C-alpha cells in the first residue's frame, strides 16, 4: 500500500554491510557488501577488519539500495539500524551512519535488536507473523528459542546456547575437516554425499528438560574422532563426518523447537539466522512440524543470513505500531538483551 512507511534499514553487526528498503512488508531493495573473504584466512571474523570494511562499504551500499528500489533519499520515511547485539566497533559504524542519514533527511531513526530483526524479516516473504509464534534463531553468534507474542513489542527468551552457537559449531567443525570459512555451507554440501547415521555423535542437552542448547561437547567429539583416525593413519570420509555432525545439530535444534511449541501451545514455528539456510535443518524441521501439526516458516536463504532488509522490516513494524523513535544519541549496545526490541 502506498501509505505504508518507506523504511531504509542498515545492518552492520558482524561482517555484512546490509542495506534494505521496504514499504511496509514489501521488499524493495536488499544490497549487501560482505567482508567475509577478508576474514577467511583468520578462520573467523576479525572485528577491526569488519569495522573498517563497513566504513568503506556504507555509502556505496546505501546508494546501490536506492538505485535498486528506484528511489531517492527524499522518499525515505524512516531509518532503522541494528543497535545490537553484535561487534561493538562494527555496530558503531551503522549507528553513526543511520543517525547522519536521519538528521540529514529529517526523518526518525529506530535503533533495533538484531535478533528481533531476524524474526521480522520472514514477513517480507510470508506475510504478517501469527501472534504468538515460536522463533528459533540459529546463526554464527546465537542460538535462541523465543516466544514472540508481538515482534514489535514483546519478545520472550525461552532458551539459548550455554556455550557455542550452532553456526560457530559448523564453522569450527569445518575447520577440523579442512573446509573453508564460513564452514556451514561447505558442511551442508559435503553432507549430501554422506550418511547422517554413519557416526553416533553426542547430542548435548537432548533430554535435560530445558530449552537450552549446547554444542561445544559435540564439536570436541568430532575433533577427537578425527584426531584418533588421523593418528591411526586411517583416512577420513569427510561427507560421513559432516553428515553425522550436521544430523546431531539439527536433531537437537528441531526437537527443542517443537518442544517449545508444545509447551507454549503455539502452532507456528519460524526458523531464522544463517544456519536456517541449512538444507537438512529445513527438511527435518518440515518433517517434524508436519508430524506435530505445526506450521513452519523459514525465509529464503538470502533473508536468513545477515542483511539490511531484516532491519528495515522490523523498522516498518515499529512505525506501524506507533512505537516512539530512538533519540539521536542512541547507543550501539554490543550485548543488547533479546527482550529489548528497540532502544
Is residue 273 close enough to count as binding ligand KG4 by CB under 6 A?
Answer: yes
What, of ligand KG4, Zn ion, none, does residue 50 touch, CB below 5 to 8 Å by kind? Answer: none
Alpha carbons 313 and 75: distance in angstroms, whole number: 17
The number of CA neighbours under 13 Å toward the Cβ of 86 is 29
Alpha carbons 167 and 84: distance in angstroms, whole number: 18
Is residue 333 close enough to count as binding ligand KG4 by CB under 6 A?
Answer: no
Quick one: which segment of 68-76, 99-107, 303-311, 331-339 binds Zn ion (CB under 5 A)?
303-311
- Whole-number minimum distance, CB 335 to Zn ion, in Å? 15
Q: What angle, rounded to 10 degrees, do the helices at 238-264 and 184-191 form? A: 110
Residue 108 near residue 327, CB atoms below 8 Å: no
Nearer to Zn ion, 50 or 66 (CB): 50
Give the contacts of 119 (CB within 8 A, at least 6 positions apart).
129, 133, 135, 137, 146, 148, 151, 155, 270, 272, 314
Is residue 122 close enough to count as binding Zn ion by CB under 5 A?
Answer: no
Task: Please work out the total of residues on this chain that contact ligand KG4, with binding judged by CB under 6 A.
Answer: 19
- Whole-number minimum distance, CB 1 to ligand KG4, in Å? 30
Residue 90 near residue 14, CB atoms below 8 Å: yes
Residue 28 near residue 72, CB atoms below 8 Å: no
Quick one: which segment of 65-73, 166-174, 314-322, 331-339 binds ligand KG4 (CB under 6 A)?
166-174
Residue 28 near residue 5, CB atoms below 8 Å: no
Distance of CA 209 to the CA centre of its chain: 25
Nearer to ligand KG4, 205 or 280 (CB): 280
- Which residue in the block uniquely carries the three cell numbers 531504509? 8
Is residue 14 close enough to count as binding ligand KG4 by CB under 6 A?
Answer: yes
Strand pairing partners for 20?
9, 30
Nearer to Zn ion, 143 or 214 (CB): 143
Range list of β-strands (E), 179-245: none
Is residue 16 close enough to count as binding Zn ion by CB under 5 A?
Answer: no
Is residue 79 close enough to count as binding ligand KG4 by CB under 6 A?
Answer: no
Task: Compute how many other C-beta atoms are within 10 angstroms of the C-beta atom of residue 92.
Answer: 18
Is residue 277 close enough to count as binding ligand KG4 by CB under 6 A?
Answer: yes
For 137, the grid coordinates are: 534463531
Is residue 139 close enough to count as binding Zn ion by CB under 5 A?
Answer: yes
**Scanning residues 126 to 155, which ones bind ligand KG4 (CB under 6 A)?**
139-141
For 318, the grid coordinates are: 515499529
Is residue 170 close enough to count as binding ligand KG4 by CB under 6 A?
Answer: yes
Q: Which of 164, 306, 317, 333 binds Zn ion (CB under 5 A)?
A: 306
Nearer to ligand KG4, 6 or 252 (CB): 252
Nearer to ligand KG4, 277 or 316 (CB): 277
Compute the C-alpha angle 322/26/81, nearest 5°.
55
Is residue 164 close enough to count as binding Zn ion by CB under 5 A?
Answer: no
Site string for ligand KG4, 190-229 (x = CB under 6 A): ----------------------------------------
Task: Enumerate binding residues for ligand KG4 (CB under 6 A).
Answer: 14, 139-141, 167, 170-171, 182-185, 188, 273-275, 277-278, 305-306
Task: Enumerate binding residues for Zn ion (CB under 5 A).
Answer: 139, 306
Amino acid at each position: 500500500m502506498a501509505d505504508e512507511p518507506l523504511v531504509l534499514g542498515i545492518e552492520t553487526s558482524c561482517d555484512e554491510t546490509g542495506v534494505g528498503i521496504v514499504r511496509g512488508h514489501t521488499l524493495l531493495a536488499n544490497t549487501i557488501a560482505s567482508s567475509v573473504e577478508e576474514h577467511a584466512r583468520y578462520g573467523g571474523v576479525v572485528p577491526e577488519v569488519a569495522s573498517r570494511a563497513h566504513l568503506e562499504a556504507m555509502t556505496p551500499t546505501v546508494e546501490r539500495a536506492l538505485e535498486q528500489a528506484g528511489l531517492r533519499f527524499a522518499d525515505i520515511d524512516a531509518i532503522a539500524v541494528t543497535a545490537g547485539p553484535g561487534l561493538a566497533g562494527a555496530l558503531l559504524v551503522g549507528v553513526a551512519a543511520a543517525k547522519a542519514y536521519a538528521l540529514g533527511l529529517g526523518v526518525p531513526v529506530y535503533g533495533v535488536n538484531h535478533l528481533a530483526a531476524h524474526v521480522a524479516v520472514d514477513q517480507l516473504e510470508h506475510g504478517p507473523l501469527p501472534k504468538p509464534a515460536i522463533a528459533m534463531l540459529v546463526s554464527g553468534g546465537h542460538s535462541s528459542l523465543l516466544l514472540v507474542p508481538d515482534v514489535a513489542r514483546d519478545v520472550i527468551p525461552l532458551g539459548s546456547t550455554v556455550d557455542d552457537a550452532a553456526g560457530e559449531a559448523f564453522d569450527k567443525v569445518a575447520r577440523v575437516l579442512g573446509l573453508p570459512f564460513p564452514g556451514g555451507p561447505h558442511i551442508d554440501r559435503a553432507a549430501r554425499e554422506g550418511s547422517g547415521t554413519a557416526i553416533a555423535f553426542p547430542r548435548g542437552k537432548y533430554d535435560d528438560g530445558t530449552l537450552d542448547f549446547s554444542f561445544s561437547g559435540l564439536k570436541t567429539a568430532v575433533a577427537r574422532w578425527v584426531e584418533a583416525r588421523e593418528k591411526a593413519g586411517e583416512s577420513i570420509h569427510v561427507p560421513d563426518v559432516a553428515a553425522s555432525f550436521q544430523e546431531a545439530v539439527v536433531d537437537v535444534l528441531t526437537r527443542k523447537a517443537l518442544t517449545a511449541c508444545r509447551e507454549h501451545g503455539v502452532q507456528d514455528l519460524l526458523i531464522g539466522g544463517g544456519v536456517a539456510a541449512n538444507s537438512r535443518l529445513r527438511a527435518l524441521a518440515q518433517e517434524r512440524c508436519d508430524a506435530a501439526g505445526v506450521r513452519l516458516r523459514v525465509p529464503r536463504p538470502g533473508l536468513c543470513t545477515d542483511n539490511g532488509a531484516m532491519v528495515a522490516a522490523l523498522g516498518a513494524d515499529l512505525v506501524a505500531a506507533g512505537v516512539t523513535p530512538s533519540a539521536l544519541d542512541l547507543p550501539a549496545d554490543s550485548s543488547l538483551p533479546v527482550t529489548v526490541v528497540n532502544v
